[in-house]
Structure 1
């Protein structure tokens, strides 16, 4: 099956004798003992089984594990590592996961944050205790591009697993497992959910090995799993993912070019721009450049806040990946420990009419 067909059919597993075209929601928490593997909904549920099936197939993986949030998915990986393990992580990454590493896992795991746009930095950071390399590309919020193949080659020589956060790219535009990664992570809250109404996370593995068994143990024993309704909603949303992503990427590319040529914009971060430092690598590992971009307004935090306050069709809100356009001054959302420039505005480009979005940005940027 091709991508669009997988998205529509792989998340539907009919268990109802009436044979509906859409898989119904199974709300039961417990099931009669028989040959079927479903016993208790914390361990498995028909809707979660269907969701994990479509996720695994979209990312060309062997198996998937769905979680109640993206942070829960990431945390399960960290929990599966031996105490005192060392991680190499990107210097620009989703603030929630970085905060998790620097607070909850402080004293439990050792972490070096490095600029992964230069793969040699990863090699230099590896030591005898390194148990995992965490990659995020494109990164949040600076849209940095890491060479997944090069980093995985370095990791394979040391037999270190690589986990890649693929939230910004989605399986529509990038498949890290095909580039050498061991596990792919998604915040399914974002593009996979696509409508800003579902919280979730997921991991997809290339092979079911010892690390994966530990992650699955954390998932089923810890119990941070999505509800049957959330699984149903995600499976439904994924059906339109390939077509939604084409629209997001088309709009983002045009808006990035518009902003790059605007006199009130200092810099634009979007890997689809030819002068983006990671463009060449992105073009080799991505089939599209996604719907996320960031830009620096001339001035500081006040100027950025003023621009945002004048917008009509961009909602000033955290998160991303919905059909509606979202915008925020990212440093304000990340808090006092943010490394993000105070005048950086992050944009999740939606599916409104492109002319409306361009006109709205133009009027907001006028002094």
Structure 2
């Protein structure tokens, strides 16, 4: 069952259809936009303006009272449509879009945490988030507490009276470990602590953390939601009060990390095909995961919808499909991974994920290269030197399988 079929009975009062019961895909195309309000344009216009003019001082005052609708860092009609549409798809009250996924994380923690506060995070995070929590937040007097959240009971000892937020990814980059959102949220909420979930690897098409108890959802819009590898963006989605704080403090004067209206337009375009793309990503990734699992050169495969994945039961509980991300290691280790990547003829050697193109990279090689200029560069928790991360794209899966097979030959 797809996410869109699950949502067929959601009441949606802000669509042009005036409250008709609309499914996920219909809302991904139409929510918060009525062509009648924009000179009958079928696609949302891109408002390329840095400021706004008003017909009177009173009108200017009214715009200011609405929360900064004076200047484009704080308001833009194109980005507002995207915020409303994403919030609707996630089941959130409100949304905020910013310039990148890291801008979203920075806006989140710098807006909600102060000197003396504590942030509990899962022990494994995206590498740049690790840099933020290890190097940046302690400088501001914010204590970061890494915890193995694969066992939600570990929260009991980690949360103190100073804890303000629990933050984790699921699926977790890069191994696609799955954390139990509802179990973690229940323990955090029992201590009056908010929970924020980075759901980038799944997208709202496959997983909606708020339905499982999360308070805030973070996305790197650069990835699956945009889906075409041609712009950057980030989003925070949650309750209206918290999102007001994130907008009025975080975006307005802490980070100022505004998403450009043209990027918002591109992401709105990508959002319209999200479910179709996620179905293809997921189906192809599962085929490739099975192929790799059976290949003699492959030591292990991690994909959440494989029966061999340790978290597959939780994955089936909170995700409708496994998405397009998988990781694997070779018996030949570090050197074998480099040889295999050099042999690839179709898959693109690149970082990032969620594009139409299949992208593959070897974290250990990049980390060793970075150590030449950054001595503190290190692999994140749980990532070995053999690990290869693959973002399965939308190419014919038979072609992807053939390319991987020839690259793995005799390793």
TM-score, normalised to structure 1, is 0.96
Conserved 8 A contact 1:11-1:235 = no
- 1:268-287 matched pairs, under 5 angstroms: 268-287=301-320
Matching of residue 263 in structure 1 with residue 296 in structure 2: yes
Partners of 1:117 and 1:278 within 8 A in 2: no
How far the C-alpha of 1:255 sits from its partner, in A, is: 0.5
Q: Shift in Å at residue 6 of structure 1? A: 1.0
Q: Out of 3-12 and 285-294, give the one that drifted further.
A: 3-12
Map of 2:365 onto structure 1: 332
Q: Which runs of 5+ in 2 are unaligned?
A: 1-21, 371-376
Partner of 1:127: 160
Task: Classify the secondary structure of the residue corresponding to 1:106.
Answer: helix
> Once the two structures are superposed, what CA deviation does each residue of 1:170-190 show, in whole Å capped at 9, x if it has no partner?
101100011110100000000
1:83 matched to 2:142: no
2:409 corresponding residue in structure 1: 366
The answer (yes or no) to whether the contact 2:228–2:355 under 8 Å persists in 1 is yes
Q: Match of 2:104?
A: 73
Q: Distance in 2 between matches of 1:329 and 1:49?
A: 37
Which of the numbers 184, 188, 194 marks the counterpart of 1:155? Answer: 188
Quote the offset at 1:18 in angstroms: 2.7
How far, CA to CA, are the matches of 1:331 and 1:85 in structure 2?
Answer: 33
Matching residue of 1:39: 70
The size of the alignment, in residue pairs, is: 365
1:205-284 alignment, distance < 5 Å: 205=238, 207-209=239-241, 211-216=242-247, 217-221=249-253, 222-284=255-317
Please say if residues 293 and 301 of structure 2, whose CA atoms lie closer than 8 Å, have aligned partners that are also in contact. Answer: yes
Give the direction of change, closer, same or farther, for the CA distance of 1:162–1:292 in structure 2 (3 Å limit): same
CA–CA distance in structure 2, aligned partners of residues 196 and 5 of structure 1: 23
- CA spacing shift, 1:347–1:223, aligned 2, 3 Å: same
Matches of 1:6 and 1:82, distance apart in 2: 37
Confirm or deny: 8 A CA contact 2:103 2:257 kept in the other structure: yes
* 2:342 alignment partner, one of 309, 314, 322: 309
Match of 2:4 in 1: none
Deviations 1:57-93 (A, max 9, x none): 1100000000100000001111021212111111121
Q: Which position in structure 1 is the counterpart of 2:29?
A: 8
TM-fit CA distance, 1:262: 0.6
Query: d(CA) in 2 for partners of 1:353 and 1:88?
Result: 41
- 1:11 Cα deviation from its structure 2 partner: 5.6
Match of 1:167 in 2: 200
The Cα shift of 1:14 comes to 4.2
Whole-Å separation in 2 of the counterparts to 1:270 and 1:51: 30
Q: Indicate the SS of the match to 2:165.
A: strand
Is residue 38–residue 45 contact of structure 2 (8 Å, CA) maintained in 1? no
The answer (yes or no) to whether the contact 1:143–1:271 under 8 Å persists in 2 is yes
Question: Could you tell me how far 1:19 is from its partner in structure 2?
Answer: 1.1
Q: Supply the RMSD in Å over aligned alpha carbons.
A: 1.4
Higher mean Cα deviation, 66-75 or 37-46? Answer: 37-46
Query: Contact 2:334–2:385 (CA<8 Å) still a contact in 1?
Result: yes
Tell which structure's C-alpha radius of gyration is larger: 2
Q: Check whether the contact 1:273–1:279 (CA below 8 A) recurs between aligned residues.
A: yes
Gap regions ≥5 residues in structure 1: none
TM-score calculated relative to the size of structure 2: 0.86
Residue in 2 aligned with 1:30?
51
